[in-house]
Amino acid sequence: MRLRCDPVNPRVDDPLDMEWDPAAGSLTGQGAEYVKDFSPREHVTLHPIPRASHELSAEPLKSYVDMAAIIGRSHLLPDVLAPHYPYLEPDYTEKLMGEASGGTLIF
């Protein structure tokens, strides 16, 4: 599936434009190396920073939750990943997710 994600972090200039096969755990395209740089079992900071973190699974490229956590750090989440963003509390969904042109913004 194609993942097109515009940046929301002022320190990030480039959008992500990748092809992802979650069953195979493959990821190619612009920004794929950014995502692949996160190691299995690494803790990824979640929004609101520094409130929470998410521990990546052993195979983050096969996990919708892990991909949402990684991409949501600095880019808009595409609709396919937005529901999988990890939250600490169930009511956080409405508090943290805002609609933005081209995806879901986690803040």
Q: Which residue did the predictor score with more confidence, 51 or 54?
A: 54
CA distance 85 to 63: 11
Handedness of CA 62, 65, 71, 77 (dihedral sign): positive
- Residue 56: predicted pLDDT: 93
Is residue 77 within 8 A of residue 106, CB to CB? The reply is yes
Q: What is the mean pLDDT of the chain?
A: 83
pTM recorded for the entire structure: 0.80
